[in-house]
Structure 1
Amino acid sequence: MFSIKEIFSVTLILFSVIDILGSIPIIINLRKKVGQIQSEKATIAAGVLMLLFLFVGKSILGLFGIGVEDFAIAGALIIFALGAEMILGIELFKPDPEASTTSASIVPIAFPLIAGAGTLTTILTLKAEYTQMNIAVGIVINLLIVYVVLKSTNWLERKLGKTGLDVLRRIFGIILLSIAIKIFKSALFTGEMI
């Protein structure tokens, strides 16, 4: 049964976890490395991952003997590496000269930036409180927001300028490191997810 209140709650929770606005400097940085980000493919790939996790996430992890906490720690390490890149100005994720822009749009944009460990474990956690249909609608609303932001990165880059982007990159790098540490600590020490 559809519930506007549930859809609104799920949308807000996922929006804060996905943090697509905070990912703008990372996306711009990746676009500079690979030349172009395919917004449609990144959004669709993230959507498929999120919906797949909504319906069969625990079962998929169970097939490999992986717990939700293990998955979260792996995602936290990737997010940590992306944050370190942004703050230190180093290059950990080197572009593959033979890779297409499609693969760059899927990794690391679709996963782990949009549909990362935090998002996927949050989706699993939401199932305890909300119906699957309302969660699915919340996911779709967030995917629309993600698509608009991905399509607007050129415009945002022009508006912010080089200095603005450098400042944002470092600020959000620290935020990414903090999120990674929070996910890591939650999964490792308490077994609870954000």
Structure 2
Amino acid sequence: MDLNFDIRQIATATMVLFAVIDILGSVPIIITLRKKVGHIQSGKASIVAACIMVAFLFVGEEILNLIGIDVNSFAVAGALIIFFLAIEMILGISLYRDDEPESASVVPIAFPLIAGAGTLTSLLSLRAEYHVENIIVAIVANTIFVYLVLKSSKKIEKVLGKGGLNVIRKVFGVILMAIAVKLFTTNINQLLS
């Protein structure tokens, strides 16, 4: 099996996942959870989220085939979801948001906070365009970053403040929107040809 590591693909996939996971934007939710239940299992939540993402990367396509949907169609739908996530991030509005979790167990943090619908959709959209090994490297990089943010969420909140978190969120929203447009045009062309 040939490994096709590509720095550009790894960087793009990492940025897409970083923007979609939006762990920095979730710091206020994480702080609230920490206050409610006292302790968040950062390592466990990060590992479970990574396992969910890698599993969906490999099994997601088979699930789609089982219900008769090709990857390009899913990637187009995923591009639209990513586009709307970007609009939420840029405009600071909430088109759709799950209720805030009640406890800080693996379930609300690993899924859906980290490995939510947007993340899983993005993984299959990326898979339509990039080599799997590059996406896995991006998942690992994001998992490490998520772990560090979960571990030091109090310090991050103090350093960045609400304004800093909002700026980061808007910048990544614009990047995410551009990536959504690229995913959409690439996959819609393949569907139409």
Tell me the TM-score normalized by structure 1.
0.67
Matching residue of 1:18: 17
CA distance in 2, matches of 1:30, 1:74: 27
Q: Which residue of 2 aligns with 1:27?
A: 26
Q: Which amino acid counterpart does residue 27 of structure 2 have in structure 1?
A: I
Q: TM-score, with normalisation over the residues of structure 2?
A: 0.67
Identical counterparts, % of pairs:
39
- Contact residue 61 and residue 124 of structure 2 kept, 8 A: no
**Which stretch of structure 1 is more off in the superposition, 115-124 or 87-96?**
115-124
Structure 2, unmatched stretches of 5+, are 35-39
Distance 1:167 1:12 in 2: 21
Q: Which among 102, 111, 118 is matched to residue 106 of structure 1?
A: 111
The aligned amino acid for 1:60 is I
Bigger Cα displacement from structure 2, 58-67 vs 169-178? 169-178
SS of structure 2 residue aligned to 1:19: helix
Deviation at 1:185, TM superposition (A): 2.3
Return the alpha-carbon distance in structure 1 between the equivalents of residues 120 and 183 of structure 2.
11
Q: Which moved more, 1:19-28 or 1:85-94?
A: 19-28
Aligned letter for 1:93?
A: Y
Alpha-carbon distance, 1:65 to partner: 0.9
- Asked whether the 8 Å contact 2:83–2:181 carries over to 1, the reply is yes
Q: Write out aligned runs for 1:122-133 (5 A).
A: 122-123=126-127, 125-127=130-132
CA shift for structure 1 position 171: 1.9
* Alpha-carbon distance, 1:99 to partner: 5.4
CA contact 1:17–1:119 (8 Å) conserved in 2: no
Distance 2:113 2:77 in 1: 13
Answer whether contact 2:33 2:102 (CA < 8 A) is retained: no
Provide the residue aligned with 1:76 in structure 2: 79
Residue 69 (structure 1) shift = 1.9
Alignment partners' CA distance in 1, 2:137 and 2:14: 13
Using a 3 Å threshold, how does the CA distance of structure 1 residues 93 and 68 change in structure 2: closer, same or farther?
A: same
Question: CA-to-partner distance for each residue in 1:99-123, whole Å, 9 max, x for gaps?
Answer: 555336412521245x433333434
Contact residue 72 and residue 117 of structure 1 kept, 8 A: yes
